[in-house]
Structure 1
């Protein structure tokens, strides 16, 4: 068991695929890998505050994994590799407190399906990560475990609701993790810290063992990592029905991103609006640069528009539906609890007026029109490149922004991500640029329903271009 550094990079900055190979070939031990990440957590988490619970079982699990290697046992694809989990996702015998004093001390009896599948592949649960109260906001701050900071700039947010997960992975505290996404929550945080994430087609990965579930039609669980190949591996392990989540019914096969590609050059459109709200010029330029990079390697790429997004603003549609549906779960959670146990976002959400039944039905019909609009787009194209966020990571606590000359509130940061929750389409968030202030800028790659292979393939092409061109510095 030779070294803590591989190709001049410390173990804690190796991706999960590399770590699995190093363990399989006995170049490092699972114990060494786990200890390297625990040391990293001890070193940087006090400033970043991304990890809220360290799994006491991690070292013991690593010792068992090491013994299996030495015996020559058959090893899973993530054997001995640590992973982290957002603290809204149940973990057996390990605290899952959902970012709220209301759930302080809560220890589930069972793993969420997604966690269980990571463990079945040989992964070792290392830590739970921070989130906003009840997973409902674009910053990761709560009364129980406080605020998470962006490792690129501690005065800025790593986003929400999977902000603790994004910050932990970006800072080297974990190579791979699980987040959840209602409107932005794995893709936005990935963009704010420059990592990668996947929101798969709705239902591809079961939500069993994750709270809240309302509104069920919009919630997703997805992998977050530092490489596209790790996203590909994790998705291949996570996808498929579990017999418990009725939305998770797809048995569509998944491969490594090549077997299901069309027998012709890929056709890709790109857009930054209209239909998404205002976009910062640096972000728009990054989307265009990603499109031009794909065009330069022989893909058919052109600017496009989706009229349905201009007719019905997806963020407004989403708000009129989801506020109505999530309130019962919130009311049940806070029933009988004191006011000082409830943070600002739950109070804000519960104070919003109910959607009238007329507006609710109108919003449902608008959601169908948006879905139809994407279906029409995907008759002619295999993927769509957009921005993830209209601006790079912002300062903590900011609630209003001037973007391209327009003043908008913080909810507008979801303008390009929420359409994929309204429609259930898959999307990848990955870095392709840097702001003038040195913050990461990600692009979003959107695919047809159940076409994760295609967008993962496109993402791997962009990742290769970034590596060759040296487009951005590491943390």
Structure 2
């Protein structure tokens, strides 16, 4: 059973095609694993077992006829609860949608299902995805499988926890300030934040067409293995005719990357925000792995990253945008983490808002200037491993946010992979950030680090 639960989605798909295992057996194994670990994790908040088994039987019937829906035929997955999923309660973590059942899938969910994936259920998220921990007023808190007293990160924390534990090989996360990358790092799995404008957000709790903040949020795959990011990412990329920000750019294959031609800058600290010794050591190990593969490494940091202001856009309107989302959901009740966006914040005067936009444009320009000399950047996901519950949003830990949020402001792609372990047994993740539209570079570099350092490890849960 463990062999199925810890296999990659790519391996599962091939085994189903080769009739070495049935889709029903695969789905049953994952449902059993969820049943075993979820009481401790609270990662899966809505289970669709009967529907998943029905679809698995349909997949097996199709296989018997020599038919296949696509590259994920019969492969189970979970879906972050911020995405709409037809026929399944889809709350976005907010009380106003506690019983909301959409009549259509989010674009990315629909694309995964059209490729043959079978949705097992929904995974927990903080309210409106607006926190680096995973807790809300409907389902409560999600725990980290490597230490139940630690956060799995947020906002895709339910996804990170259940994937790491073998309950699902794939999930769809979202990233506005690090919400794919932080849970991937804290839970020791792989994750991809695509370039802004690459993947439609239609059907997500925070959707598209949000003005200046629109570029911050993107949808990306999460998995135990980099090869599954490479498998899933092209499935969800590309325009859907609804999200106006999505650009029809080609999706390039990481297998075609010449590693010896790449130049990578790397660093472990951002100004006064210094990484712990184990984080610095893991990042050094990742740098060494890339060097051994022929990549050119230079210890260098873009000075612009010392002041990144993109996430200031989230509060620049005094919380009006968040209030509109809550009003649309039909609630005024909110988690305290959401309250910080709407309570005690005043809208910026027009002149200050204009200056903020100019500062953000200057930041993006300066970062692009830095990348004239490099193809990618290697840095930690956070300067510390997963903190205890309730600590991520405190002054002690929040300065680490710039390690991820800077690249939401630029809109650049980044892949995360495990590169080490803390003395407490907690995973340590690193990011491989590339130039816009070069997810192939991020993924190729992440695959090197994964191969050299081992990547995901079975948690003690």
TM-score by length of 2: 0.94
Measured after TM superposition, the shift of residue 273 of structure 1 is 3.3
Distance 1:164 1:325, change over 3 A: farther
Cα distance in structure 1, aligned partners of 2:4 and 2:297: 38
Cα distance in structure 2, aligned partners of 1:298 and 1:427: 20
Measured after TM superposition, the shift of residue 283 of structure 1 is 1.0
Measured after TM superposition, the shift of residue 463 of structure 1 is 1.2
Measured after TM superposition, the shift of residue 256 of structure 1 is 2.7
Measured after TM superposition, the shift of residue 357 of structure 1 is 2.7
Larger deviation: 268-277 or 128-137? Answer: 268-277
Cα distance in structure 2, aligned partners of 1:256 and 1:396: 39
Measured after TM superposition, the shift of residue 338 of structure 1 is 6.9
Match of residue 108 from structure 2 = 114
Structure 1's unaligned 5+ residue stretches are 402-407
Checking the alignment, whether the CA contact within 8 Å between 1:24 and 1:75 is kept in structure 2 is no
Match of residue 316 from structure 2 = 324
Match of 1:178, SS? strand
Measured after TM superposition, the shift of residue 76 of structure 1 is 0.9
1:256 counterpart = 2:253: yes
Out of 215, 218, 221, the residue aligned to residue 217 of structure 1 is: 215
Match of 2:149, SS? coil
Distance 1:359 1:278, change over 3 A: farther
Measured after TM superposition, the shift of residue 473 of structure 1 is 4.6
Cα distance in structure 2, aligned partners of 1:283 and 1:324: 33
Checking the alignment, whether the CA contact within 8 Å between 1:320 and 1:359 is kept in structure 2 is no
Distance 1:334 1:73, change over 3 A: closer
Match of residue 362 from structure 2 = 369
Distance 1:473 1:248, change over 3 A: closer
Checking the alignment, whether the CA contact within 8 Å between 1:186 and 1:198 is kept in structure 2 is yes
Distance 1:274 1:283, change over 3 A: same
Cα distance in structure 1, aligned partners of 2:392 and 2:407: 23
Cα distance in structure 1, aligned partners of 2:350 and 2:363: 20
Distance 1:217 1:325, change over 3 A: farther
1:297 counterpart = 2:290: no
Cα distance in structure 2, aligned partners of 1:400 and 1:320: 15
Measured after TM superposition, the shift of residue 337 of structure 1 is 6.4
Match of residue 237 from structure 2 = 239
Cα distance in structure 2, aligned partners of 1:442 and 1:274: 16
After superposition, residues 66-465 of structure 1 pair within 5 angstroms as 66-213=60-207, 214=210, 215-249=213-247, 251-259=248-256, 261=257, 265-275=261-271, 277-310=273-306, 313-314=307-308, 317-325=309-317, 327-335=319-327, 341-354=333-346, 355-398=348-391, 408-465=395-452
Answer 1 or 2: higher relative contact order, Cα 8 Å, separation at least 6.
2
TM-score by length of 1: 0.91
Distance 1:304 1:203, change over 3 A: same
Measured after TM superposition, the shift of residue 75 of structure 1 is 4.2
Distance 1:326 1:231, change over 3 A: farther
Aligned length: 452
Match of 1:258, SS? helix
Cα distance in structure 2, aligned partners of 1:47 and 1:153: 10
Measured after TM superposition, the shift of residue 366 of structure 1 is 1.8
Measured after TM superposition, the shift of residue 123 of structure 1 is 0.5
Distance 1:220 1:137, change over 3 A: same
Measured after TM superposition, the shift of residue 358 of structure 1 is 3.0
Measured after TM superposition, the shift of residue 325 of structure 1 is 4.8
Aligned-residue CA RMSD (Å): 1.9
Checking the alignment, whether the CA contact within 8 Å between 1:69 and 1:75 is kept in structure 2 is no
Cα distance in structure 2, aligned partners of 1:116 and 1:264: 38
Match of 2:382, SS? coil
